[in-house]
Amino acid sequence: MVNQENMKIIIAGAGIGGLTAALCLYEAGHEVEIFESVKSIKPLGVGINLLPHSVRILTNLDIDDEIAKTAVETRDLVYANKFGQVFWKEPRGRFAGYKWPQFSVHRGELQMLLYDEVLQRLGSDAIKTQHHLLSYVEYEDGIIANFIDRETGDLQAQVEGDILIGADGINSVVRQHLYPQEGEVKYSGNVLYRGTTLMKPFLNGASMVMIGHLRQKMVVYPIQHELNAQGLQLVNWVANLKEADDYQLKVRDWNRQADKQRLLDIYQSWNFDWLDVPAMIAGAENIYEFPMSDRDPLPRWTFRRVTLLGDAAHPMYPIGSNGASQAILDADALTRALIEEPDWQSALERYDAERVPATAQVVLQNRQKGPDFIMDLMEERFPQGFAPDQIPHDELEGIMEHYKQIAGFDVKSLNEKI
């Protein structure tokens, strides 16, 4: 039997989930190697949010202070209609009574922070780039993973280990091996237009705002707390548009440039006394379009020595700030199972039993608009705006609290954890 305290674990994918898993598993006493397809890891992407349940795990890894040096500790979440009228506002993170903060941060900066931590703790050779997983073979006492250079097709390495974790994203090779008939990702019909803009801080300088409704929405939040010499703050924004059925963008691609003028035309009237959306769009250096996609929840992730984690396991719509956070929760759950169960089989089965249904609920709830359901509710009832006494506060509160329960970050149960 494998020594449960010192297994060799192979991770395919050096994204946020894979890197966090490596840190957690190493701290638990395992030997870990990460293999990444790209030639060099660069700080790609734009803003993401880390909810308190994931920050708890990063705090236990002793990297929360490093994140706080660049990230914004989110103070509140604000919902407004297309006229800029606020109908919901709630404190977030420690301002809402959690033991841990909520962070808004540049995805690439977080990934590079985790990358540097892995190299410092696990060693300079712990991450192998330009190693694309081609296939794997299980045998009685372990697993052999075969990695190639994706550009040339040349074999790079054959690596033996005890467990293989597929943390290789929405187009996961591991997932394709486990479910070869699954097919393509499911495109929602919505396209996200992402940009960052240096601009004057809005509201309290640490607010996350959701504006409009789910056919035309704007999400805005700062991702750096420091202001530059001109008093400007780096703000992340995402325009979410329901596109026509014949819209041709079907593939997840972070690098496709969007038409800025088209966005300016669509959002031209969204100039509020607290935020000038057209000026924000105009001020972005680059805007990228990205189809909002996911996959159907799987019945299981684990097949003997192989399992999935993060977007490879449960790609979801970016609603409710849960994508990266759920990947971090996966890493923690897998590590705890390996610590507490008597053997690796029991540990992986427990991980499956815990995380598959939990993440499936979030994926499906996000398809049903998640907490952003309140945006469409207000648009349908008050398309021309509302008076303050018309806001259904109790109904909105019920929707928001229900989502927190599903996503695992209601304040009472989370604060009971260590």
Residue range 314-348, pLDDT digits in tens: 999 887 667 889 999 999 999 999 999 999 999 99
CA 275 to chain CA centroid, Å, is 26
- Among 292, 291, 296, 294, smallest CA distance to 181 is for 296
| Structural domain that includes position 146 | 8-42+108-184+298-367
Please, what is the Cα angle at 209 between 253 and 288, to 5 degrees?
A: 20
Whether the predicted model's global pTM rises above the 0.85 cut: yes
Instruction: Evaluate whether 32 touches 9 at the Cβ level (below 8 Å).
Output: yes
Listed as own residue / partner, the contacts of 120-126 with beta carbons closer than 8 Å and 24 or more positions apart are 121/23, 121/26, 122/22, 122/26, 122/32, 126/22, 126/32, 126/33, 126/34
Assess if residue 247 is contained within a domain.
no
Can you give the pLDDT at residue 246? 63
- Rounded distance between C-alpha atoms, residue 254 and residue 250, angstroms: 12
Assess if residue 139 is contained within a domain.
yes
- Rounded distance between C-alpha atoms, residue 129 and residue 146, angstroms: 14
Assess if residue 127 is contained within a domain.
yes
Assess if residue 199 is contained within a domain.
no
* Residue bearing the bigger pLDDT, 119 or 293: 119
Question: Which H helix or E strand runs over 388?
Answer: none
The strand order across the sheet containing 132-139 reads 132-139, 142-148, 155-161
The CATH number of whichever domain residue 163 belongs to comes to: 3.50.50.60
Assess if residue 403 is contained within a domain.
no
Per residue in 157-206, pLDDT tens? 999 999 999 999 999 999 999 999 998 888 888 889 999 999 999 999 99
Q: Write down the residue that tokens 């149960």 correspond to.
A: 413
Count of structural domains within the chain: 1
Assess if residue 118 is contained within a domain.
yes
